[in-house]
Every structure is written in structure tokens, then in C-alpha cells.
């Protein structure tokens, strides 16, 4: 079944209990996007924060994949369930790929989205439009109950604007103009539209395809 086809049940065969998966994140926006992007499957996503005792592991990795693995393993060990983690961020060409894995902490360890966005605008200064190319990247790690892993990645190309626009989404969405939606920032896209073109949506579809290819 194609990930976009209707009818659900792509992850389990008819009659089986839905696969319960812990989403290893403290970011509620991610949980909502993941639920919406994979709503066509019969998977049931439970937010780690809702189960209590989420350890919020330190993200000591140097890559998105390493950090996603740290979070997914922590959740699967804590809750004894399959666990899915997203590690993601913004790579700006004119800043040599920054903020990258430090996206959530760009303006400091407890920085708000608004503070991170302000720091990004400051770092780019009057850099002209042609040099404001950037991409969001998401790496998803699923740790199954038997400890085996599936890794998937997605990117979304675009550029950084000069002032925030839009109310949807989170993080750098108000500053990011996806190539796929000319005239609108990511924060001007309702969730379904964002998921259709976003890095996280692409990574989740790739994950689903990988599982489907092995009959799961
Ligand atoms: P968890 O680690 O608990 O999942 P987090 O928000 O800290 O939550 P990351 O460590 O993966 O997640 O950092 C991702 C940061 O990258 C996020 O805080 C945003 O600043 C940015 N980011 C990632 N995906 C984004 C998106 O879809 N829209 C806007 N900004 C995004």
C-alpha cells in the first residue's frame, strides 16, 4: 500500500492489534505532526511526556542520527515499547550548515523559538536573498521491541526570510520559505500541507516505506 493511499492498516495486517509506539520527544508539535502524517496507518502514537517519567536524555551526538538514536533508545528502555524519535534542525548554507544539531539551542540552552529566530536573523544580517538558501533535515529512528532499528531521513529545501511570518507550526517555521510553496512561509501552511512537503513528513513516509518493504 502506498503511504498516501486511503484505508489505513498499512503497518499491520487486518485483525492484529495496532502497533503502540512511544514518541520520544518533549515537543508536542512533533507528536501532532507525526500522528497526522501517519494517520493512514493503524499505529498508535503515545507521547513520552504523557506516560510520565520521560528522562529527556542529553543530546550529546554530533549528528541528527546519533541524537535520534539516543532519544529512541531512552524511550524504548524506559517504557518497554517500540519507540520513535525525530532529531531535526535547520542547515543554513551561508552559516556553513549552522545551526544544525544545535537548532533548538541556537540562542542558548533554554532559548525560546523567538530567541532562536532573532539570533538567526542577526547572524544572516543583510545577506542577500540568493545567499539565504537553507534546508530543514529530519532523521527518524524507530527502535523496535526486539531492539532492532530502522532509520529514515527527509529534507525540505528553501530559504530564510528577513522577518517572521505566519502562526502555524513551531521553531523556525515563520522564517523558512519552502521552495515547494512559493509565496508562503512554513508557518503559513496548515499542518496537512506542511506534512506533505516537510522534512519530517518525508522522513516518516520513508520510514513507512522501509517497514512495508519488509512486510511490517
Ligand atoms: P525533542 O528533542 O524533545 O524531540 P526538540 O524541539 O528539542 O524536541 P530537536 O532536538 O530535534 O527537538 O531540535 C529540533 C529543533 O530544530 C527545533 O527546536 C526547531 O528549532 C528546529 N526544527 C526542527 N523541525 C522543525 C520544523 O518542522 N519547523 C521549525 N523548526 C524546526
Residue 69 lies in a domain: yes
CA of 160 to the centre of ligand 1 (A): 16
CA of 37 to the centre of ligand 1 (A): 16
Residue 14 lies in a domain: no
SS3 195: helix
Decide if pLDDT at 14 tops 80.
Answer: no
* Location of C-alpha cell 533548538: 104
Residue 72 lies in a domain: yes
Sign of CA dihedral 83, 6, 28, 196: positive
- Work out the average pLDDT over 1-20: 49
Question: Where residue 9 falls among pLDDT bands split at 50, 70, 90?
Answer: very low
Residue 89 lies in a domain: yes
Decide if pLDDT at 188 tops 80.
Answer: yes
Specify the CATH number for the domain of residue 86: 3.90.950.10
* Prediction pTM value: 0.92
Task: Say how many residues make up the chain.
Answer: 216
> Which of 22, 25, 26, 27 to probe ligand 1 with, by most ligand atoms within 8 A of CB?
27
CA of 2 to the centre of ligand 1 (A): 27
Residues spanned by the domain of 100: 19-213
Kindly list the catalytic residues: 87
Residue 84 lies in a domain: yes
Number of domains into which the chain is organized? 1
Residue 2 lies in a domain: no
SS3 127: coil
- Work out the average pLDDT over 94-110: 97
- Average pLDDT across the chain, whole number: 92
- Work out the average pLDDT over 86-102: 98
Amino acid at each position: 500500500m502506498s503511504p498516501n493511499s486511503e484505508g489505513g492498516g498499512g503497518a499491520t495486517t487486518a485483525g492484529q492489534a495496532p502497533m503502540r509506539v512511544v514518541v520520544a520527544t518533549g515537543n508536542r508539535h512533533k507528536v501532532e505532526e507525526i500522528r497526522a502524517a501517519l494517520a493512514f496507518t493503524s499505529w498508535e502514537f503515545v507521547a513520552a511526556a504523557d506516560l510520565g517519567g520521560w528522562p529527556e536524555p542529553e543530546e550529546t551526538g554530533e549528528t541528527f542520527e546519533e541524537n535520534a538514536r539516543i532519544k529512541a533508545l531512552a524511550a524504548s528502555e524506559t517504557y518497554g515499547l517500540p519507540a520513535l524519535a525525530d532529531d531535526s534542525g535547520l542547515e543554513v548554507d551561508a552559516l556553513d550548515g549552522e545551526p544544525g544539531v544545535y537548532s533548538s539551542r541556537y540562542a542558548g540552552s533554554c532559548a525560546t523559538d523567538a530567541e532562536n529566530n532573532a539570533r538567526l536573523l542577526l547572524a544572516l544580517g543583510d545577506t542577500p536573498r540568493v545567499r539565504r538558501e537553507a534546508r530543514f533535515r529530519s532523521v527518524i529512528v524507530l527502535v523496535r521491541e526486539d531492539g532492532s532499528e530502522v532509520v529514515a531521513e527527509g529534507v525540505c529545501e528553501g530559504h530564510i526570510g528577513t522577518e517572521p511570518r505566519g502562526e502555524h507550526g513551531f521553531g523556525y517555521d515563520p522564517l523558512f520559505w519552502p521552495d515547494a510553496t512559493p509565496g508562503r512561509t512554513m508557518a503559513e501552511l496548515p499542518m496537512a500541507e506542511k506534512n506533505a512537503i516537510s522534512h519530517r513528513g518525508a522522513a516518516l513516509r520513508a520510514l513507512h516505506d522501509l517497514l512495508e518493504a519488509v512486510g511490517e
